[in-house]
Amino acid sequence: MFGLFGSECGREWAIPHSEFFEGLGGVSGKYFHSLDPATLGATVVPLFEMVYHDCEAVFGKYGYNPDSAAEYVAHHALCGRTLNYHSFPNHLYWKEAAKEAVAEVKARPSVVSVSQISDRRFQVRYRWQVEADCKGDWHVFVHFGKGEPIPFQNDHQPARPVATWRAGDVIEEGPFEVTVPAKFTGDAADIFIGLCRGAGGSERAALPGCGADRRVLAGRVRLKPAISFEKVPLPALTGDAGCFARADNGWAEGLCVTDRFLKNTHELLGPLAATTAHARLTRLEFLTADRAARRATFGESKRGAAATVTVNFGAAEYVAGSKLGGEVTLPTWGVLIESPGFVAFHAKSWAGRQYEKPVLFAIRTEGRRARIFHGFGDARIHWRGQDLTVQREAEVLRR
């Protein structure tokens, strides 16, 4: 009698009684709250959408950084989900675009060694490999273990001020002595390293290879039966983790990061969610041996499908076949969406046109009429026999 009902997390028994679940779609820009699938060599499969996509809307929860959310966006496209937008800057944030820009520090942290001192104490050494000249007054934070509060830490001042780091430098740090608190009873603890500044370390630098929380997973310290260091193999991705916050030459050019991200992801994921709202994810295919390229089909039947979505999660480009776009080259985090009334792509080629950098276009069609949205990159597009230049958006009639 009162409209919509939803719940945080959600359980199967609540499906007949609710319209949405919050939290199942991701947490803080990650797949799960505390589980990192990459550390297990695992692939996340959207089983929920295969069973319940046509009767339950699923959202994520908690905030994340648009400048490092490409994987999160790409996964939502594969699942036919809309995004959760939990974190907004202060009031009138769009007037403070310069303050919202994320500071980058092109330096990669790593753990050099871990050596045991006693049952609960060890020495640790770190190394920073500097890829480009650095700026700013930064503090090093090292987090051991996952969750909040952080189980234990080794925050410290860098061996040399970050502002003096130059391309090609190798900065050695340590040894530092770390004591494992008695309340920590785990067998191992992941090691996360980053740079922060400001009151309480509120601002974190974007480092090469960092996650949405702007920390680099540098390995794991084993605590039992003896203290030792273990490397954690992670995929070497070369894509732009902030690509969906781009707006160069596009609709949201000149707007702040938050608004660029909102506009781009809404134009990409909103129509997809509407198109697939009453369809299950009926087929999921791994298109490459490493499972990096994947295709989801929604509402597959003899009359066709409600939509197909191809996503590239890998470091290498993937060429996908398209009825309208021919061979479409998908970069890392590239997306191709095709349905009777909606087509979208984050790609490096479309309909025979090669782009120097990936572009974002989204096209909604109704009869002979098409509304073309241009998110970023080269504004030229070939659409149904017409060569067009779309700076922001345009409405065109099919010849």
At residue 301, the pLDDT reads: 85
β-pairing, 139-144 vs 152-153, is antiparallel
Residue entry with tokens 């909040």:
148
Residue 201 region, left (φ>0) first, then alpha (ψ -120 to 50), else beta?
A: left
At residue 212, the pLDDT reads: 64
Q: What is the mean pLDDT of residues 277-288?
A: 96
Paired residues of 370 in beta bridges: 365, 396
Residue 83 DSSP symbol: P
Q: Specify the DSSP element, H or E, that contains 268.
A: helix 257-276
Q: What is the mean pLDDT of residues 183-201?
A: 91
Residues 46 and 35: their CA atoms lie apart, in Å, by 16
> Bigger pLDDT: 346 or 23?
346
Q: In this predicted model, what pLDDT tens digit does every residue of 142-168 receive, in sequence order?
A: 999 987 789 999 999 999 999 999 999
At residue 234, the pLDDT reads: 59
Exposed e or buried b per residue across 355-384, where buried means at least 16 C-beta atoms within 10 angstroms of its C-beta = beebbbbbbbbeeeebebbbbbbbbebebe
Rounded (5°) CA angle 260-28-333: 55
Please, what are the domains in the chain?
A: 6-87+243-397 (no CATH), 103-205 (2.60.40)
At residue 315, the pLDDT reads: 86
Decide if 137 contacts 163 (C-beta within 8 A): yes
Residues 80 and 103: their CA atoms lie apart, in Å, by 32
Q: Burial of 296 by CB count in 10 Å (0-12 exposed, 13-18 middle, 19+ buried)?
A: buried
Q: What is the mean pLDDT of residues 2-22?
A: 88
pTM score of the predicted model: 0.72
